[in-house]
Each structure stands twice: as C-alpha cells, then as structure tokens.
C-alpha cells in the first residue's frame, strides 16, 4: 500500500511510472482546467470530476462537466478547458502512464482553429 498526498498544490501528479512503482497509469489532479489546446498521440486522458463545473472543448464539441462525470479523451483528440468554476476539482489519469519527460514530449500543442475556437 502507498498513500500520496497533494501537499496543497493547485495541480500535480500523485503516482505513476516515474516513482519506481509498477503502476501502469499516471494519476494527477487539478483545481482548475487549463486553456492549453493540445493532443496526445499515445495517451488516453481520463478526467474524473469531483466538484464544481467546467467547459471542455474536444475537437469541435464543447462538453459541460460536473461532479461525478468522467470524460475520456482518446489519443489523437485535440482538447482544452475553456472555463472552470471557482470550486472545480478533478482527478486525471493518463493511460498508459509515461515517465515525466516522455509524457512531456508526447503532448503536442495544436492551433485553436483546429478546435473551432477564435485565437487566444
């Protein structure tokens, strides 16, 4: 057994392949969605909403998320958060979990136009 605590940060990663365990996924959290259009080529990104509301854009569709919702963004699907309520909090799972540098390289920015959004 292992217990991980956030330590009060607004966003971070709690467990994954970088910490020497055999976990095949990466588990993180955030208290706000970030407006940063991007795509993953290999990772499925799974958001589990614990509290609050947010709007997420996945390709050409806007989705409203609320407590208890789970959003699975498949590899190759461009996405970004558009807004989040002040009380918003989600957990995020990356599958497969990749080591920190490999996960950073695997995330590619995309133009807002791909999502049908005006320039930021």
Q: In the predicted model, is pLDDT for residue 19 greater than 90?
A: no
The burial of 34, by beta-carbon neighbours within 10 Å (0-12 exposed, 13-18 middle, 19 or more buried), is given as exposed
Whether the Cβ atoms of residue 90 and residue 33 lie closer than 8 Å to each other: yes
- Name the residue with higher pLDDT: 82 or 14: 82
Q: What are the sequence ranges of the domains in the chain?
A: 14-110
Task: Give me the pLDDT at residue 47, please.
Answer: 94
User: Above 90 in pLDDT, residue 24?
Assistant: no
pLDDT digits (tens, 9 = 90+) for 33-79: 999 999 999 999 999 999 999 999 999 999 999 999 999 999 999 99
Are the C-beta atoms of residues 68 and 49 closer than 8 Å to each other?
A: yes
Domain spanning 14-110: CATH superfamily: Jelly Rolls (2.60.120.10)
Task: Tabulate helix, strand, coil % of the chain (nearest 5).
Answer: 10, 40, 45
């Amino acid at each position: 057994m292992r217990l991980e605590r956030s330590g009060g940060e607004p966003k971070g990663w709690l467990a994954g392949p970088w910490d020497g365990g055999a976990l095949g996924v990466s588990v993180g959290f955030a208290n706000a969605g970030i407006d940063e259009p991007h795509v993953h080529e290999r990772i499925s990104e799974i958001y589990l909403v614990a509290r609050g509301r947010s709007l997420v854009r996945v390709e050409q569709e806007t989705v409203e998320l609320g407590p208890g919702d789970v959003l699975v963004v498949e590899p190759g699907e461009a996405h970004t958060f558009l807004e989040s309520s002040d009380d918003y909090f989600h957990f995020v799972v990356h599958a497969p979990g990749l080591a920190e540098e490999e996960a950073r390289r695997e995330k590619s920015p995309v133009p807002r136009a791909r999502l049908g959004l005006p320039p930021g």
